[in-house]
A and B are shown apart, each in its own frame.
Chain A
Amino acid sequence: MDNHYSIYICGVGGQGIIKTSTIIGEAAMNQGLDVVMSEIHGMSQRGGSVSTELKIGGYNSSIIPKQAADMLLSFEPIETIRGLDKVNSQTKIVYNTHPIIPSSTNKPYPSVDSITKTLKENYKHVLPIEGTKLAIEAGSVLALNMVLLGAVTADDKFPLTKESVIDAMKNNLKPKFHEMNLKAIESGYKSIKG
């Protein structure tokens, strides 16, 4: 089943998750692939967890079954843990290591190192990246989603070209941010490709 690729994208409201997913979807469409995506609006926008699901290639349902994601792309460390239902032993787990500590909770935030260690004990492809740091280096913390977008394009199995993703980015975001976004996409790409 060539060109079948499912990405589960998760993080916190306000991190640009829906925009990132839409860009990937539009790029897939422009490359002539079938694509469906699911997103949740409403209550999740008040600082809650946010996730989208993106399925490229011949699916009707926009929801990824359990353990069926090719990539888990997480904007925040503990949100990675919440997304693990979608993950199998071959899934690429890419996540930003910068935590956003939830307010009004009685549980302490686990250390990011322990998260990485535990993930590596259980999964083959665990790819933490310093996304927030790379975004700031590219020009703004708001470019985090572009860093992670770049990281997706670095996966060998990802069926879209970096160029088509960049074209879709340009079609969806303001020209004055293009230069910064390109820098961020490039640094995310390199953080996976090395």
Chain B
Amino acid sequence: MNLKELVTGVSGDKQFLLGNEAAVRGVIEAGVSIAATYPGTPSSEIGNILSVLAKDANIYFEFSTNEKVAMEVAATAAASGLRSFTFMKHVGLNASADSFMTTAYSGVNGGMVILSADDPSLFSSQNEQDTRNYAKLANMPILEPSNCQEVKDMVKYAFDLSEQFKIPVIVRTTTRVSHMRGIVEFGDVADNSSNNEDHWKRGHFNKDPSKYVPVPQFAGDMHIRLWDKIHKINELTNQSEFNREVELADNKKYGIISSSSAYNYAHDVCKFNNLDFNILKLGFSYPFPNEKVAEFLKDLDEVFIVEEVDPIIERDTLAVIGKEKLDVTVHGKLDGTFPLYHEFNSDIVADGLNKILNFQENTEIKYSPSLEKLQEDIPSRAPVLCAGCPHRAMYYGINIAIEEMGLKPADVVFASDIGCYTLGINPPYNAADYLLSMGSSVGDGCGFSVSTDQKVASFIGDSTFFHSGVSPLINAVHNKHNFVLTVLDNRITAMTGGQPNPGIPIDGMGDEAPEVSIRKLALACGCDYVRVINPFNLDQVVKTYKEAFERDDTAVIISKAPCTLIKGLTKKPPVQLVEKNCNNCDKCVSELACPAISKVNGKITIDQSQCDGCNVCIQVCKYGALEAGR
């Protein structure tokens, strides 16, 4: 499929779409005018696609510096009467939370939808938090699609709902929904055209401080209005077609309540094992559809709650049972039927149901001992820093500097951050000792520097620095903290697939944009020692680290070299082995650990297709066995 078809496709068209592509189609059908994000997997592709399609779809789109800014851009657009969309990974919602919470109070005029992508089983995240808790916390309605068609339909519906009740609406996906592909039938596209030169239409902000300025004098009333909305929306969740009984049979003893990706497993396990009970599928789960759930429960003896991450439906169901004085046994996470953590699949759901129902036969297959041994012995294939990655050179260099200064690894704490460079956790670099969140390396540097006598080396990427590294750097200078902050400026937001950030002269719509200088920012924060270095010059890296570690203030080293995955970079010729000089010391393999260098049949081998010609290995080799390609 050509991505443009997400804009040009007409009602009735069918496409095989990624969940995130379906979300974009939903946004286009809803006639959104303003969209903003900070990239985060599993939601990243939504931004990548909008970045390409925004102009064709009459949408203003930006990669904001962080999720909080994105939330504010969307909130003000919606306050001005436009339809707005912001989206992020689940932990991104934390970053935005301060403003997010207030948007529930102030409400909206145009529809505003917040898509938050959860990551059960932590494929690319630091935790498994459940966005549904935020719906309760903020008192905001939430929709939970289970498949790609529902992603599209629910995103579109969420805008109508938001506009009807003047409240932002959350759409919660999980990795398995965002990164599922399925058949999506398109609907009609709302007209969002404008005569403006820059594509998107403009709204108008009608002043009303009692609605939009939550000073104590007004915020109390805002809270009352919020509850009024939620009570009305609760009537709707009890009626909504998104909360429906899926009738697989008419068993009156057992039933299942489920939502999101977990529903898919519950459905398939029942269908393919001929388990003849009905499933109440909750797609519009907050405010909790208590009446619908009570109706579903009233004839049952036992109910299974199949939901991923937190036992939210389970607790709400127990509350309904208590209030309605029903005699129904609940099996879920709280009684150990299903796990309290990690994503589900059909096997896990079947195992849980089997604990009560005993329908599965034990089908253990015996394999040969040689197969079991082979399974144990295969080498792992963990993600690694790419050949030619500038981060590798910096990690190698700092470890050399530490060694040459007579320090032991335990003498230096590496405060890491969120990006590709977190891969520095692996040997031989061992360059990640502590990590909390986006931008935390800088605040962590402050804390370690006053709490220990150890040296502290903080590492942060360019995009992460803009995201939330600047204010803790101001803290570091003002409070006289002593650590070395390395900004790994690889000229892109690499980890999430290569989005632009304020450090490069291009914006989210592909237009030219002012470049914000990290060096000038560090100087403006008050840092006296700011050095911009070429990471591929090993001597310079080592010398700069030694200098920085000798200081007793906040020293900033900016490693400036583009990510090797950036398209259109001219590649340098690959490094060549001078076999006669090789002493087989293995330093290039074991200490540099570049994926382009390996030892095959006792001989150093450079993979010519992988080598990026960064030439760091040449500087590592003491015997002149590696030379630059020509």
Residues of A within 8 A of B (CB): 12-13, 21-22, 25-26, 28-29, 34-49, 58-63, 65-67, 78-79, 81-82, 84, 88-89, 101-110, 114-115, 118-119, 121-122, 171-172
Q: Which residues of A contact B386 (CB under 8 A)?
A: 46-47
Are A122 and B368 in contact, CB atoms less than 8 angstroms apart? yes
Q: Which residues of B contact A63 (CB under 8 A)?
A: 176, 265, 345-346
Which of A13, A89, A110 counts the most B-chain CB atoms under 10 A from its CB?
A110
Cβ distance B89 to chain A, nearest Cβ, rounded Å: 10
Q: Which residues of A contact B265 (CB under 8 A)?
A: 60-61, 63
Question: Can you give 14 A-B contacts (C-beta < 8 A)?
Answer: A26-B1, A38-B179, A39-B181, A41-B42, A41-B497, A42-B41, A49-B381, A60-B147, A66-B347, A81-B375, A103-B384, A105-B380, A110-B374, A172-B1
Are A78 and B1 in contact, CB atoms less than 8 angstroms apart? no
Beyond the given A37-B181, A42-B123, A48-B384, could you list 15 further A-B residue pairs with CB under 8 A, ordered by the A residue number? A25-B181, A29-B14, A35-B183, A37-B182, A40-B123, A40-B179, A43-B123, A44-B383, A48-B383, A63-B345, A103-B595, A103-B598, A110-B374, A121-B370, A122-B367
Known contacts being A42-B41, A63-B345, is A48 close to B381, with CB within 8 Å? yes
Is B464 an interface position by the 8 A CB rule?
no
A60 CA to B598 CA, complexed, in Å: 43
A40 CA to B343 CA, complexed, in Å: 13
Are A103 and B593 in contact, CB atoms less than 8 angstroms apart? yes
Cβ distance A35 to chain B, nearest Cβ, rounded Å: 7
Residues of B within 8 A of A (CB): 1, 14-16, 18, 41-42, 44-45, 123-124, 146-147, 175-176, 179-183, 261, 263-265, 267-268, 271, 345-347, 350, 363, 365, 367-368, 370-371, 374-375, 377-386, 420, 423, 426-427, 495-497, 593-598, 600
A12 CA to B264 CA, complexed, in Å: 28
A103 CA to B382 CA, complexed, in Å: 9
Cross-interface CB contact of A60 among B268, B365, B368, B496, cutoff 8 Å: B268
Closest to B386 in A: A46
Q: Which residues of A contact B15 (CB under 8 A)?
A: 29
Cβ distance A102 to chain B, nearest Cβ, rounded Å: 4
Closest to A12 in B: B381
Are A110 and B377 in contact, CB atoms less than 8 angstroms apart? yes
Which of B267, B381, B595, B600 counts the most A-chain CB atoms under 10 A from its CB?
B381
Cross-interface CB contact of A41 among B179, B182, B268, B379, cutoff 8 Å: B179
Known contacts being A47-B386, A60-B264, A60-B267, is A42 close to B379, with CB within 8 Å? no
Are B367 and A59 in contact, CB atoms less than 8 angstroms apart? no
Are A47 and B180 in contact, CB atoms less than 8 angstroms apart? no
Closest to A89 in B: B365
Q: Which 7 residue pairs are nearest across A and B when measured between Cβ atoms?
A: A42-B124, A46-B383, A103-B595, A48-B383, A61-B264, A60-B264, A37-B181
Cross-interface CB contact of B384 among A46, A106, A115, cutoff 8 Å: A46
Q: Which residues of A contact B427 (CB under 8 A)?
A: 104
A40 CA to B45 CA, complexed, in Å: 12
Cβ distance B435 to chain A, nearest Cβ, rounded Å: 15
Cross-interface CB contact of B41 among A26, A41, A47, cutoff 8 Å: A41
Which of A26, A65, A110, A171 counts the most B-chain CB atoms under 10 A from its CB?
A65
Closest to A36 in B: B182
Cβ distance B385 to chain A, nearest Cβ, rounded Å: 7
Are B147 and A36 in contact, CB atoms less than 8 angstroms apart? yes
Cβ distance A27 to chain B, nearest Cβ, rounded Å: 9
Closest to A49 in B: B381
A172 CA to B265 CA, complexed, in Å: 30
